[in-house]
Structure formats: C-alpha cells, structure tokens
Chain A
Amino acid sequence: MKHKIGFNKLNRVPAHRKALLRNMATVLFKHERIVTTKAKAKEVRREAEKMITRAKEDSVHNRRVVGRKITDEAVLAKLFTDIGPRFKERNGGYTRILKLGERQHDAADMVVLELVDRKDDGKKAKREERKAEKKAKKAEKAE
C-alpha cells in the first residue's frame, strides 16, 4: 500500500516537475545556496540529499546514476570531488532551510536553501566592497 508517502506535485505535469527539480538541484550544487519558495525548497531538498548520499562514494555506477539527473558535467564533477567528500562524516541532513518571510508580490513563503557546510567564498565581501565604493563615488559627485 502506498499510504502516507506523498510528495508535492508543485502544480506541474511530471516532465515539467522533473525538469524543475533537476535544474534547481544543479543550481544548488553550483552555488551552494539558493533563495526559493518553501514548497519548492522542500521538494528540491529531497532530490538533492539523495544525490549527495550517492556522491559520498565516487564510483562509475554512482556517477552514472546521478548523471542521469545532473547533465552539467562541471557541476557533476564538483558534486563528486568536492561536495561528496565534505559530507563523508554526516549521515543525512546535508541541507538547511532558513525562512525569510513572505514575498511582496504574491505572499509566497520564501526561504534560503543551503548546504550546511557552505563555504564563504568571499563573493559577499567583494560585493560589499563594491557597494561601498559606489557609495563613495556618489558622495563625491554630490559634492
């Protein structure tokens, strides 16, 4: 019996849903953090965690199984050489969902979906720097 093992169809036909989950999982592995709606995040997490569990053991078979879903070769390589080994010691729960509140436009519940051991790659600091520079320039112009 298939009781109590449902999932969210996300109002999409199977092919559309499959594509959405694949794309979002790929982007999650690429950037290690994505902002999305709560419903999508929960479904993507499901797919992504299964893939990470596969990626913990780098074998031809595992690569092919995950490769059916992740077509971006660079991301697949990253998953098996970087993300997988990082989670060797962790049994499940590789991702984290942080609630952001409602989106202005349609009041959808927004969340951050991220890998729990996400490395800060310094991009943020750079962005801040650039922002500060811009502000300084603006202040100069105003004078």
Chain B
Amino acid sequence: MAVPKFKTSKARTRRRRSINMKLTAPTLVTCGNCGNPVLLHRVCPKCGFYRGRQIITPDTNA
C-alpha cells in the first residue's frame, strides 16, 4: 500500500494553507443614515435603513 515516506513539515503545511485556506475580510460600506459599517446590499442592523428607507425597527433592548 502506498504510504507517505516523510512527515509533512510545519513549513510545508503552512505554505499550503497560506494559499488554499486564506481568509478574506468582508467588504464593508458606511451606512448612509447612521455611518455604521454595513455589508453591501444589506439593511443596516443598527438603524434599520436601506436605500434611504426605514425597513425595520432595530431591537432597542439588545
């Protein structure tokens, strides 16, 4: 049966992961109403505004 001849070194593992498991930061824009950073095309969770319109009333207890 085919078996690995050598142990994968830490460097080799990390080199692979640095390319294939890279994390990317989400693209954020500032809310036009309250200036809170929000995800693109999402209703602002802080003030409940989207495209200049009040969509939801955010939970004030939270």
Contact = CB atoms under 8 A, between A and B. Distances in A.
A19 interface: no
B43 A98 contact: yes
**A contacts with B: majority SS:** strand
Interface residues of B, number: 10
Overall SS of chain B's interface = loop
Contacts of B50: 98
Interface size class of A (residues with CB under 8 A): 10 to 19
B34 interface: no
A84 B42 CA distance: 29
A99 B41 contact: yes
B57 A99 contact: no
Interface of A: 35, 98-101, 112, 124, 127-128, 131
Given A98-B43, A124-B57, A127-B57, 15 more contacts: A35-B56, A98-B50, A99-B41, A99-B42, A99-B43, A100-B42, A100-B43, A100-B45, A100-B55, A100-B56, A101-B39, A101-B43, A101-B45, A112-B55, A131-B60
